[in-house]
Structure formats: structure tokens, C-alpha cells
A and B are shown apart, each in its own frame.
Chain A
């Protein structure tokens, strides 16, 4: 090894070390900001708890068979008890079990809808913001049309064209959801593209694709992350609304909105059929919102001290 090489490598490792240190410092600061905020910690734990319960649903629920079209009319309409924490429904199924399985459906819905709509929205937003001109005009005017209706109404309208199933509901929600991400990314891209590092990249002849995905996209990352977390809650909310109106999850599948819709027919006597699934939805959406809010505080670079 020559002297030159060794100097070079030591300089390299020094840079790595400082980078790692600054990364660790950044993580530390972010975590500090996040952990100082008990509300966002609570949100994170709530979401984590629900996800774990949903994944392990067949193992943690007392009556996994009750998730489907099981019937046991002898134990129908039992109020909450030790053997049935949330009571039983009109055909004798354990409500607690169905709520946990209902979480599976809700989380699945959020994952599928965002999995389809977010990449699509991001791509169109990047293209619209970066290229501008008529491309931007067309894309953004189309999003305007979608945004002229409340998301639930738009989803309802799309759903109405099909026989209601949960898959169709997911597609319908995904079909409108991309517009929000498209707008967000479009506005960020528009402001970033005039910055020097993007222009420098253009000057040294990077391809458009490279600039879009290597220079601009990483700068949208934290905004996207916060938006996705908050959106998960909203998608679940819209999904529950569709199910409540009979256009989402179809029985005997356990959807939280569907369960509430059926349960509400038995108010006020069989209150547990409404109250527990309601609380379950609320718990999950609240968790996502608190987490999203915490992430927003954490990822925003705020002025400190002096």
C-alpha cells in the first residue's frame, strides 16, 4: 500500500465516521423530538398494537372461526362477559374476534389503496411539477375535477357502478386518492426544481428521470411519509363509511363499518354491537393521526434555541 492510498482511505473513513455521527445525531434529535411528545408515542404504540393483533388474529382471538359465516344461535346477543369481552352478535359470533379480524380488513384496505394510489400520484405529481407547461395543466386540472367532490361521495359514485365488494371499494377509493398525493408532490417539485442542486444536476447533463428520482424525490420523502401515515387513517375512515352504507365489506366478512351498520339496527338494547366496533375504528384512526402528527413534528426542521 502506498502512502497516497493510505491517506486517501483514512480520509474516506473519517468522512464515513462523521457522516455516521451526523446521521446518529439526526436520528437522536428526531427521536428526542418524537419521544418528548407523549401523544405521538401513544399514537405509534396504538398503531403497532393493532397491526400486531391483526397479523396474529388467528392466534390471539378466542374464537377465530367466528370471523366467517359461523352461527350459534343459542349464544346470540350475549352482553359482554368474561368469555365474550365485547359480547356476541345476532348469530352468536364473538364480537371481539370479529373486531380483530375487522382490523385486518381495514389495514388491508389502507395498504392496498395507498399501495396503488401513492406511487401513481407521486409519479404524476413529479412529472407535472417538473415539466410544467401543458403537461402540468392537464394533470392538475384532472385532479381538480376529482377534488370537487368529497372523497366519500366520489368513491360512492364509482362504487355505484359495480356490484359492491371490498375489492371494488378499494379500487374506487384508490381511483380518487392519487389526486391528493399528486397535488402535494406537484407543489413540492415546483419549489424544488428551481433550487441550485437541481439546476446543477441539469447542467451536468443528468437525465430527466435521474433528476426526478435521485434529486427531487428524496426531498419529498418526509412529506410523503407524514402524508401516508395520516392518509392511512383517512382511507380507513372512508372505507368504514362505504361499508357502513353497504358498499364496502360484505357479510359474513367482518368489516368494522359493516358491523356497526348491522349493530345500529339493534340499538339501544344490544349496544355492544355498535359501541365496540365504533371504538375499535376510532382507536385505529386516532393512532394513525397521532403518529402522523408526531412524525410531522419530528421531520420538520424547526429552529432551535438561539
Chain B
């Protein structure tokens, strides 16, 4: 309910921003040589001669029919465009999240457990570098080293030109190629996604490493850890059971924000790797003032954010009885 409010607010905000565009979308769509009359006709057809609030109502009404309007840029329905570009971005961000979880979390745990050790110092460096280096820089330097320099990874795109696309099932090439049993396509897709997903994940890896480290070292100082040890539970068991579970709560709760920052990074990284995803589509739309497409992309991102936070809340409730019990009462 509350997330719906956020979405409505977001759509109003973006609608206002988009509609005060100095450029006239109808004029942009028709080009500089169209007559004044043609522009006026198109404006009328697009409902742009109506008062702003009516335009908004019409737009929202369209959303419920899955209609996000027409893109001036591709001259197709924005919903179709997004459906076409979304899976590539989703795949990228999903793989990036996996990186964050398999690198950031274990690293943070070790750093927090062995505070001030060399491992902790390395984790500090990784965390700081991850947060400080812009994702497009990671991408470009990665290309320079692994693609141009060592020649072991491809520079751009989702698949090599010579690799046939696996039949689309999920839209995620890694999964589709596996479903089709096409392992060479799978390897190809994997090698294409490696650099861009890491470039997107860097920020998140840095944040989650830091946060997990802090939370582990916090938990280690708690009475209940000392108590478990005082009652004769072996150290290793205390670490793996009694320390880890409460330590995972803070990193889990910010996973929604990590996801959002990865979506933001996708806007930069898809550009670097010519990744045919929604973010790249969104950038083109923004640069060409393609109002309906900008609206559509932003709404989808807002929706994704809301959805991810919902999942995170459910997971957090599962791990942390405090949240669960609060909600029940």
C-alpha cells in the first residue's frame, strides 16, 4: 500500500518534470521541416492540448492497460520497447547482485572476525576502491586490460556475432543457452557478462563488505556471544551460528539500496559495453527528449525498486524475528 503511494508520487514527479521539457515533443517527433499545422495535429492526437492533470489521468489510465505511449525515437510502443530491452538489464543486474553476495559478504565476515589482520586491511582497500571508483572507469579499465591487452574477454555486446542466439525462454542469455543445452553459447554469454556485471557490482561489493564487517564486529562484542561462550558452546560453533545470523541482518536490509545503486550503475556501464539493455535505451530517450520512453523506463525502475524492497522485507522478517513479531502485533 505504502509502496504504491511512492510509485504514484514518483509518476507525478516525473510527469511534471517531463512535461516542463522546454522542447516540444510533437515538434521533436516530426522534425524541423514539419508544418505548424502538422505539429498542432499531433499535439492534439497525443492529448497535449489538454490540461496537465487530464493528461496525467490519461497517462495513468494507459498504464493499467499496459500502454506507456509511443516512443518518438523508435516509433514503437514504449511497453514493447521495454519488454525488448528489459531482460538484458535484468540479467546484468542479477549477475551483479550475485557478485556482491559471493564476494562482499564472505569478505566482510572474515574482515570483521579477524579485525585489524592483513585480511581486514585488504578488505578495507577493496571496500574503499569499490566505492570510490566510478563504474564506467571499472568498465573501461577492464576493457583495456582484459579485452585489448590480454585479449581474453570480449569488449562489447551480449554475445559474439558468430554465436547464434539461443531460443528465447527467459530472455536471460545465460539461462536460455543452458536450457537449450548450448554450452558454447553459455560460455560466450558468460564471458560477455563478466566485465560489465563486475563493473556494476563494484560499488555494492564495497558497501556490503564494509557493512558486513561492521556488523560482524558489532555482534562479536555483544553479551550474547560472550554468554554462549561462557556456557561452553565451542568458539567455532558460536561463530557460525550465533554470530552469523544476527550479523546478516544489516547487510540484508540494505540489499534494496544496493540493487538501486546497481540499476543506476547500469546506465553508465551499458553505455561502455554497448549492452543492449533498458538503461541504454533510457539514456537515448533522455538525450533525445523522448518523453514517453523516459517516463516508462523510470516507472519500471521505480517498480523494480519497490518490488526488490518488498522481497528484502520478507527475507529480513524471515531472518529477524524482531521484525516478524513487530509486524504481527
Contacts and interface: CB of A to CB of B under 8 A. Distances in A.
Direct contact between the two chains A and B in their complex (CB within 8 A)? yes
Contacts of A160: 17-18, 21, 285-287, 289, 294
A78 interface: no
B302 A152 contact: no
B298 interface: yes
A152 B267 contact: yes
B17 A145 contact: no
Interface string B271-287: 11000000000110111
Interface stretch (A11-19, A197-205, A268-276): A268-276
Given A141-B5, A157-B17, A245-B283, A152 B136 contact: no
Nearest to B143: A267
Contacts, number: 140
B124 A39 contact: yes
Nearest to A241: B268
Interface stretch (B8-16, B97-105, B228-236, B319-327): B8-16
Contacts of B141: 274-275, 278
B272 A264 contact: yes
Interface residues of B, number: 49
Nearest to B260: A150
B149 interface: yes
A144 interface: yes
B283 A156 contact: yes
B48 interface: no
Given A149-B305, A153-B298, A289-B131, A244 B6 contact: no
Interface in A126-165: 141-142, 144-146, 148-153, 156-163
A149 B260 contact: yes
B7 interface: yes
A233 interface: yes
B250 interface: no
A174 interface: no
Contacts of B286: 156-157, 159-160, 247
B20 A161 contact: yes
Nearest to A271: B144
Interface in A211-242: 233, 237, 240-241
B219 interface: no
A282 B129 CA distance: 8
B261 A150 contact: yes
B140 A267 contact: yes
B292 to A, nearest CB: 13
B128 interface: yes
Find the residue from B18, B136, B298, B301 having the highest chain A CB count within 10 A.
Answer: B136
A192 interface: no
Contacts of B144: 267-268, 271, 274-275
- What 6 A-B pairs come out closest when comparing CB atoms? A150-B264, A268-B148, A145-B9, A286-B132, A160-B286, A152-B264
30 contacts: A141-B6, A145-B6, A148-B260, A148-B306, A149-B305, A150-B260, A150-B261, A150-B267, A152-B264, A152-B268, A153-B264, A157-B294, A160-B21, A160-B289, A160-B294, A161-B17, A237-B134, A244-B268, A245-B268, A246-B287, A278-B137, A281-B134, A282-B133, A282-B137, A285-B131, A285-B132, A285-B133, A286-B128, A286-B129, A293-B128
Given A241-B136, A268-B143, 18 more contacts: A149-B260, A149-B298, A149-B301, A156-B283, A157-B18, A160-B17, A160-B287, A233-B132, A237-B134, A241-B135, A245-B287, A246-B287, A267-B144, A267-B148, A274-B140, A274-B141, A282-B132, A289-B128
Interface of B: 5-7, 9-10, 13-14, 17-18, 20-22, 124, 128-129, 131-137, 140-141, 143-144, 148-149, 260-261, 263-265, 267-268, 271-272, 282-283, 285-287, 289, 294, 298, 301-302, 305-306
